[in-house]
Structure 1
Amino acid sequence: MLAEKQQQECSASSLQVATPGHKEMLNYGLGFFGVILVWTLVGTFLPYYYTDVAGVSAGVVGTLMLVARLFDGVTDLGMGTLVDRTRSKHGKARPWILWMGIPLGISTILLFSVPDFGNTGKIIYAYVTYILLILVYTAVSIPYKTLLGLMTQEPYGRSVLNIYTGVFTMLSTLAIMIFAQPVASAIGGKLGWTIVAVASGVIIMITSYIAFRSTKERVSASVVKTNDIIPFKVGLKALFTNKYWLIITLYCVIAYTLNALLAGAGLYYTSYILGNASYFSLVGLLLFLPTIICFFFMAKLVAKFGKRNIALTVSVIGILGPIVKLIDPSNVAVFLAGTAIQGFGLIPIIMFLYAMINDTAEYGEWKFGIRTEGLVNSAASFGMKVGAGLGGALIGWLLAFGGYVGGLDEQTASATTMILALNIYIPFVLAVLQTVLMWMYKLDEQYPQILADLNKKR
């Protein structure tokens, strides 16, 4: 009994040593700032840029969003396998952050620089540059997400690390949603959006280098046998029998579809329903207001109640947002109040999601004896990409179905109805589904025992 107690204390001590300090967490979060900056710029403004600035039809944009994101999701699986097979003196995730930071910055600039090639030329350019961007983005984002699970295995430390990424995710998203449209509008035309893309591209180059230099992979060095390469087929089979990974991946699809609608369709709503595009910056701020408030005491709440219970609670609150908006859809104050309430549903995505995804890697190792952090993160990222693509496709397709024409001062009644559906009705359904999936995710209850069993086995 005494020996067993000493062994448990020793395991706990080793886990404590394997936890990164706050400075390292800060630099990791800073790297995420650049990644999310590009993600938010593309997800929020690319549909609007194509339809209202570059002059590409809404229907074409909708198809492009879905096709490119589905392709993106497939490349995620390949990238996850590459990360798991990477062996270098810098680890298996960090090298990719160093290698791909500059290409991501360049591809971001190209994306928002559509030339006047005629309608067919614009469409070809849009497809080529968008697919290029998602290839490079995948080569950066998958290693970033995988690195979180490699920096520490200790559950509270991993949660705190995810909170750091949440803070920088929030700051990055706010920076784009508040400043991108006003800056681009002030400069004017295509040049304005190109300048915004240049700024974002330079930032991702800098933050990627900082994150590479300032972080350390611990789990791969101390836990995983570095010479073991798990066959893709074996890893994939274990993945699809991992019930918690399946739940969290489906959650990613729903949550990112919702997020794409709130961001990508919001500018259409403020322009044509509320009558002032400048309200979009305020909408962006209010969406993140609950996260800003909760940040200051989130670590204590996680320690007391756990990630899942907090995520479930705020998801239930978020359902009320679209209901409030329905009171008077054209009233600015009512819409903004509903937006702030709806923002509670974003807290799990920003604060907990990547930690939850990496927790499923421990569950998979405990259940099946196979550990594939890269594949776990890339496959969950596939869900995010599918969700983002589906959200973007819905925007383009429903606007086209409603007869939307970019650049008009006033849209038809059918187009207005589609804008309402994209911003209120569909988000309500998605918020309910998101909450149900979070209720089904109960890994937090098992995780301490899972970790104890894994440490005992090792």
Structure 2
Amino acid sequence: MAKKPLGKDKLGIQKVMRMPDYLGDAAGQFSLNAISGLVGQLTYFYTEKVGVAAGAIATALLIVKILDAFTDIIMGYIVDHTAPGKEKYRPWILRMVLPVAIMMVLMFTVPTNVSTPIQIVYMFITNFLFTAVIYTIICVPYQAIMVVRTNSQEERAKMGTWRAAAGYVSGMIIAVMIIPITNMLGGDQKAWIMFSAGLAVVSAILLFVTYKTSKEYAVEDGQEAVAAPEPEEESVPFGEALKNLFHNKYWVMALILAVCSNIFYGLSNSSGTYYCKWIYGDDNLVGILGGVGLIPTILGFIVTPILIKTLGVTKSLRVSFVIGIVGNVLRMINPYNFVYNAVLGCFSTFANIPMMCLLGTITAMSIDYNEYKYGKRMVGSSQAAASFGSKVGNGLGTSLIGWCLAIAAYDAAATVLTPAVKQAIFTFNIYAPLAMFVIMFIVAMKFDLEKKLPGIREELDKRKAQNK
């Protein structure tokens, strides 16, 4: 039976995505967020289960992120310089299926019968391979697929929403279940290894699903191709590509938004565990907080498409950031009450959902601007913004926890909460997320590309017609 033809979006661009396309594409984000979610738990795992000092962990992770920062741009450059006639994006996802599963387990097999320096070296190497190599090789091509899969901004936004939903499921599985499940399995290092092994199998399978369902050009299955693959553009030298990207103010804004939103995400991965253990007195409460957090998450994914249709991409982000600011300011009034803070924490959770959904859309807009300003799209290099922001943001969020605890002379074996440790926990649970929402709101107020896009696309069409 022939499929019912899809219509056009509100800008007159042909739609090409069906529900299986969205689901298959979103499966990849589950695996990526499983990686970043586990990385976010490492500070807690290293301090509480392995016994390494928080300051040493934070420093090691920061060095990884500094090195990691360069791998995204390098990977984007490699993707953009794939030989003409070959697929640029999908093959990289397939190549990483097995490495993801292996490294997801090795992250938690830190040797315990060796000296601390050797443990730190092991942590450094496994973190570097996991985030700087494997995550990068998957993420940059995966983000680029959104740009080449459809030309419709509406479908890109919907892809972003489905990706964010799948990623959030992954993140919530880790945030809600990792402490209760590992405690149930014995609460030791072996328990964490068992949890990561199960997640590794699921993540590898879903990456393969994404590989099988992805396409590298806009085409509706069962119908005539409505948009052929983009013509091969001349490769841009590495130095010129970097210069162009950092002179594209919208790409820089997308980068800042990616970093800030992922600092928030990195903080939320494990900061709540310390809050529950030391402020509320029971680390198992993190499971309840995660369950409560499902409410604003579900609402966020329901409301975000409505916001986008009503307000557009940029205004939706501005509204959500205001909600995040208000929620964190109110938490400062009484940071000790569990119910009060659980409810207000929902504000922050809800506020970050639109950003999770729309980061890829914002970055795709900046790619259109690349073509308008420089005559080159530089898809792979441009999408490094999302990957770079995700990893560096997560790394900074995780490192911030370690630095705060180190400055406060945190002792995992202590029985009494010191004032310094209490303020450190408040810093990475309330003050830092508040700062991120303020910065993102300011950037969103400056981002005016959305209203310029129709004119930009009209100009690009004229140029292409003239060059024929």
Q: Secondary structure at the match of 2:405?
A: helix
Q: Is 2:184 the counterpart of 1:186?
A: yes
**Residue 158 of structure 1: CA displacement?**
0.8
**Residue 219 of structure 1: CA displacement?**
5.7
> Aligned to 1:249, which of 244, 249, 255?
255
CA distance in 1, matches of 2:300, 2:417: 39
Q: Is 2:102 the counterpart of 1:74?
A: no
Mapping 1:220-369, distance limit 5 Å: 222=228, 224-226=230-232, 228-369=234-375
In the alignment, structure 1 segments of 5+ residues that lack a partner are: 1-8
> Aligned to 2:95, which of 95, 99, 102?
99
Q: Secondary structure at the match of 1:16?
A: coil
* 311-320 or 421-430, which deviates more: 421-430
CA deviation profile, 1:192-211 (whole Å, cap 9, x unmatched): 11011111211221111111
Q: Give the number of equivalent residue pairs.
A: 446
Amino acid corresponding to residue 324 of structure 1 in structure 2: L
Alignment match, 1:131: 128
**Residue 103 of structure 1: CA displacement?**
0.5
* 446-455 or 216-225, which deviates more: 216-225
Contact 2:359 2:386 in 1 (8 A): no
Q: Secondary structure at the match of 1:222?
A: coil
**Residue 272 of structure 1: CA displacement?**
0.2
CA distance in 1, matches of 2:77, 2:420: 46
**Residue 42 of structure 1: CA displacement?**
1.4
* 328-337 or 249-258, which deviates more: 249-258
Contact 1:108 1:198 in 2 (8 A): yes
Contact 2:258 2:385 in 1 (8 A): no
Go from structure 1 to structure 2 and tell me whether the alpha carbon gap of 1:254 and 1:199 turns closer, same or farther (over 3 Å shift): same
Alignment match, 1:433: 439
CA distance in 1, matches of 2:303, 2:273: 32
CA deviation profile, 1:350-406 (whole Å, cap 9, x unmatched): 211111112210111112211111111113422332222222221111101101012
Mapping 1:174-213, distance limit 5 Å: 174-188=172-186, 189-213=188-212
Go from structure 1 to structure 2 and tell me whether the alpha carbon gap of 1:275 and 1:246 turns closer, same or farther (over 3 Å shift): same
Aligned-pair identity (%): 29
Go from structure 1 to structure 2 and tell me whether the alpha carbon gap of 1:285 and 1:70 turns closer, same or farther (over 3 Å shift): farther
Mapping 1:115-130, distance limit 5 Å: 115-116=111-112, 117-130=114-127
Alignment match, 2:396: 390
CA distance in 1, matches of 2:20, 2:85: 22
CA deviation profile, 1:279-301 (whole Å, cap 9, x unmatched): 21233344453331132343343
Contact 1:58 1:396 in 2 (8 A): yes
Cα RMSD, aligned residues only: 2.1
Alignment match, 2:160: 162
Alignment match, 2:452: 446
CA distance in 1, matches of 2:92, 2:438: 37
Contact 1:291 1:346 in 2 (8 A): no
Contact 1:163 1:351 in 2 (8 A): yes
Report the structure, 1 or 2, having the larger helix content: 1
* 133-142 or 212-221, which deviates more: 212-221
Amino acid corresponding to residue 427 of structure 1 in structure 2: P
Q: So what's the TM-score if we normalise by structure 2?
A: 0.90
**Residue 250 of structure 1: CA displacement?**
1.3
CA distance in 1, matches of 2:22, 2:462: 28
Alignment match, 2:149: 151
Q: Secondary structure at the match of 2:14?
A: helix
Contact 1:322 1:428 in 2 (8 A): yes
Alignment match, 1:24: 21
> Aligned to 2:79, which of 80, 83, 87?
83
CA deviation profile, 1:96-155 (whole Å, cap 9, x unmatched): 000112111111110011111221221111111111111111111111111111211211
Q: Secondary structure at the match of 1:352?
A: helix
CA deviation profile, 1:329-359 (whole Å, cap 9, x unmatched): 1110111012011123212332111111122
Q: So what's the TM-score if we normalise by structure 1?
A: 0.92
In the alignment, structure 2 segments of 5+ residues that lack a partner are: 1-7, 220-226
CA distance in 1, matches of 2:393, 2:273: 19
**Residue 89 of structure 1: CA displacement?**
6.6
Amino acid corresponding to residue 170 of structure 2 in structure 1: S
